[in-house]
Chain A
Amino acid sequence: MSQSPASLPFIEGLRDAANLRLPGSGHAWLDAARRENLEAFVAAGLPDTRAEAWKYTTLRALGQRRFALGDAAAAKHAVDPHTLVLPGVEGPRLVFVNGVFRADLSRLDALPAGLTLQPLSQVLERDPEPLRFALSRHYRETGDVFAQLNAAMAGEGVVLRVAAGARIGKPVQLCFVGAPAQGELAWHVRNVIELGEGAQLNLVEHHLATTQNKHLGTLVGDIVVHDGAQLQHVLLQSAAEESTLIRRSSLRLGAKSQAALYALELGGALVRHDLHAELRGDGARIDTRGVFVLRGRQHVDTQLSIRHQALDTASESVWRGVADERSRGVFRGAIVVAEGADGSDASLSNKNLLLSALAEIDTKPELEIYADEVKAAHGATVGQLDERAMFYLRSRGLPQAEARALLTAAFCRAVFAALPNETLRDHFSHALIAHLP
């Protein structure tokens, strides 16, 4: 199922990884977990397109590349703080440059009551014990090799906790900045996020770059939303055009809890986004909404997996894809309503727009239902801009590029219309239009 692992430059580049001194090294359980995950990853290598989860995304070129294991200068790269500012987002902020925490760029003073927000490296250096459960995971059963790699290599990330009942008003911003380093760098970030019972949190995750780079970043997020808690997670992915970004979020939702995700993916040469959500408590609800807008030779693969495991759970997923030039978009949305999850309500809509004859979009919605009295709907389309609408706009004086942008933004509007932060919504709309060729 894989490229012959040992000889791959990607794997060769990990030869010294076992000797790295990462934050938390020396704690036997953590060393063991990292070592075992590394060994498993090296033994398995990178999956090829015969693996169902990687059917439309080839890692062949990635396997031929060798990445540096760390960036000694990560603490010194100049980053203009203004580039970190997002309209409508002003609150605590945690900033990582090339995967390394930067206190000088972060804003961690005067945290609101009930919010704990720390870089993972600090927690590991002081006392990793509370993270033992999260960080000892192996990913054999999921077959997710990048989570394995991440578990072996991540010494940095975000540890965020909201106390039961605490409502954090201002959004918490997590910034991941790519900066040029010596050669091509691989960075690995692990986020552990927990909302106590009845807690509320707005999270804004922002990926950006100071200038062009070809780094590989992996990010694994474990997010637990306890009973009655509410999470809003906004993702703006504007990573460097030639970079590779592999993200995996696992969400677990308790009874009557709610999570809403809004994702706008614009950057990266190769981007993979896995979102796994388990609706574990009765009445839990998740809404996921996302758009990717691709140009050049960008390849973005979104894999959504939502499991309804309790009574009266609900999920609504609205995803849009726009592919221009020679880009390729992949969307797989799998919704499972497990036995016993009676009264569940699941809907999934994925619509895609091809703006060029050379662009490609592969979409695969899947629905498996094993429960009773379930409401479920799903649909996927791939189409082109409506020529009649284009002519209508142009006949009123709008130049072709402007007419195209207007229709494309309108196509994506359904995704962000529900985003409560109006200023951020406008920013998304502008960023989306600006990304069109």
Chain B
Amino acid sequence: MLKIENLHARVEGKDILKGLSLTVKPGEVHAIMGPNGAGKSTLGNVLSGRDGYEVTEGSVVFEGRDLLALEPEERAAAGVFLAFQYPVEIPGVNNTYFLRAALNAQRKQRSEAELDSMQFLKLVREKLKIMQISDELLHRAVNEGFSGGEKKRNEIFQMAVLEPKLAILDETDSGLDIDALKQVAQGVNALRSPERAFLVITHYQRLLDYIEPDFVHVLADGRIVESGDKTLALKLEEHGYAWVAERDPAPAAGARA
């Protein structure tokens, strides 16, 4: 589904990703862990097409297409979804209106029929059951005045409605207390399916107690330096990131899971 090879990327003239390789198959959940500044968020931003990230080397192929050649909206229509670390507040734009416009824009790009307001409402009701989110939030402006937990739940709710093939969660656990974290994880787990893959980017192992990954990768200095199963996350929790660097400073061959 997703094949990243030898990816190099820079931001504001500074090299951040320095040869990252990763392969993700449908249905898999990959956790990307690493210390601050390792390039975790850069990976999410490069994959979703944010301006200001310059890819200097390497390739990203998503479902046989060159992902890096696509505009952000084309990536979305192709099935890539980024749950933001800091969801943006957009005053004046109604949450439901925005979500319907987004879904229909994607469907249009995929040459699928657009949903009318009745069909969309029905879909929203179904998805509301998955994600505990109050009706009231849907009628407010996008993320405006939402609490930290509400913003993250809204991201997962958007994901539920847009039904991407690849979901990238960028530090979705940051700023959440344990109850909010559980709610978000529940929503994510409900969306796991054999067709859908997840890239869970996180600094802490905590989130992985609730979203159980198939693979864990350690990102350090722009490369994946260690890969393993979920027990790797526990070792990291115990020993800290310094442990990886000391044990195996060279890029790990096992990065291609």
| A residues adjacent to B (C-beta < 8 A) | 386-389, 391-400, 402-403, 406-407, 409-411, 413-414
Contact B71 A400 (CB under 8 A): yes
Q: How far is the CA of A392 from the CA of B99 in the complex (A)?
A: 12
Contact B92 A399 (CB under 8 A): no
| B residues adjacent to A (C-beta < 8 A) | 48-51, 71-73, 75-77, 81-82, 84, 87-88, 90-93, 98-99, 101-103, 105-106, 109, 141-142, 158, 162
Q: How far is the CA of A394 from the CA of B90 in the complex (A)?
A: 13
Contact B105 A402 (CB under 8 A): yes
Which of B49, B90, B109 has most chain A Cβ within 10 Å? Answer: B90
Contact A396 B84 (CB under 8 A): no
Q: How many A-B residue pairs have CB under 8 A?
A: 75
Q: How far is the CA of A109 from the CA of B232 in the complex (A)?
A: 84
Q: How far is the CA of A407 from the CA of B105 in the complex (A)?
A: 16
B48 to chain A, nearest CB (A): 5
A411 surroundings in chain B (CB, below 8 A): 92
Contact A397 B91 (CB under 8 A): no
Contact B90 A398 (CB under 8 A): no
Query: Known contacts A397-B77, A400-B73, A406-B98; is A392 also within 8 Å of B88 by CB?
Result: yes
Query: Known contacts A391-B50, A402-B101, A407-B93; is A397 also within 8 Å of B88 by CB?
Result: no
Query: Known contacts A394-B72, A398-B73, A398-B101; is A410 also within 8 Å of B162 by CB?
Result: no
Contact B90 A392 (CB under 8 A): yes
Contact B71 A410 (CB under 8 A): no
Contact B90 A407 (CB under 8 A): yes
B71 surroundings in chain A (CB, below 8 A): 394, 399-400
A391 surroundings in chain B (CB, below 8 A): 50-51, 72, 88
Given contacts A397-B102, A406-B98, A410-B91, 6 further A-B contacts (CB under 8 A): A392-B90, A398-B105, A400-B71, A407-B90, A410-B92, A413-B92
Contact B92 A395 (CB under 8 A): no
Q: How far is the CA of A357 from the CA of B4 in the complex (A)?
A: 36
Q: How far is the CA of A388 from the CA of B105 in the complex (A)?
A: 19
Return the chain B residue nearest A394 by Cβ.
B72
Contact B93 A406 (CB under 8 A): yes
Query: Known contacts A392-B84, A402-B105, A406-B98; is A397 also within 8 Å of B93 by CB?
Result: no
Contact A393 B98 (CB under 8 A): yes
What are 27 contact pairs spanning A and B, CB under 8 A?
A387-B51, A391-B72, A392-B88, A392-B142, A393-B90, A393-B102, A394-B49, A394-B73, A395-B48, A395-B49, A395-B72, A395-B75, A395-B76, A395-B81, A396-B76, A396-B98, A396-B102, A396-B158, A397-B73, A397-B102, A397-B109, A399-B71, A399-B73, A399-B109, A402-B105, A406-B101, A410-B93
B49 surroundings in chain A (CB, below 8 A): 394-395
Q: How far is the CA of A406 from the CA of B71 in the complex (A)?
A: 18
B205 to chain A, nearest CB (A): 27
The 4 closest A-B pairs by CB, nearest first: A410-B92, A397-B106, A397-B76, A396-B102
Return the chain A residue nearest B97 by Cβ.
A406
Which of B50, B75, B162 has most chain A Cβ within 10 Å? Answer: B50
Q: How far is the CA of A386 from the CA of B51 in the complex (A)?
A: 13
Q: How far is the CA of A396 from the CA of B95 in the complex (A)?
A: 12
Query: Known contacts A388-B88, A406-B101; is A394 also within 8 Å of B76 by CB?
Result: yes
Q: How far is the CA of A411 from the CA of B90 in the complex (A)?
A: 10
A432 to chain B, nearest CB (A): 12
B99 surroundings in chain A (CB, below 8 A): 396
Return the chain B residue nearest A406 by Cβ.
B93
Q: How far is the CA of A411 from the CA of B88 in the complex (A)?
A: 15
A386 surroundings in chain B (CB, below 8 A): 88
B120 to chain A, nearest CB (A): 14
Q: How far is the CA of A267 from the CA of B49 in the complex (A)?
A: 36
Query: Known contacts A406-B98, A410-B91, A413-B92; is A397 also within 8 Å of B82 by CB?
Result: no
A414 surroundings in chain B (CB, below 8 A): 92
Return the chain B residue nearest A387 by Cβ.
B51
A433 to chain B, nearest CB (A): 12
Q: How far is the CA of A387 from the CA of B50 in the complex (A)?
A: 10
Query: Known contacts A391-B50, A391-B72; is A398 also within 8 Å of B88 by CB?
Result: no
Q: How far is the CA of A46 from the CA of B255 in the complex (A)?
A: 75
| Contact among A389, A402, A409, A413 for B88, CB-based, below 8 A | A389
Q: How far is the CA of A87 from the CA of B121 in the complex (A)?
A: 27
A392 surroundings in chain B (CB, below 8 A): 84, 87-88, 90, 142
B143 to chain A, nearest CB (A): 9
Q: How far is the CA of A395 from the CA of B98 in the complex (A)?
A: 12
Q: How far is the CA of A409 from the CA of B141 in the complex (A)?
A: 13
A409 surroundings in chain B (CB, below 8 A): 92
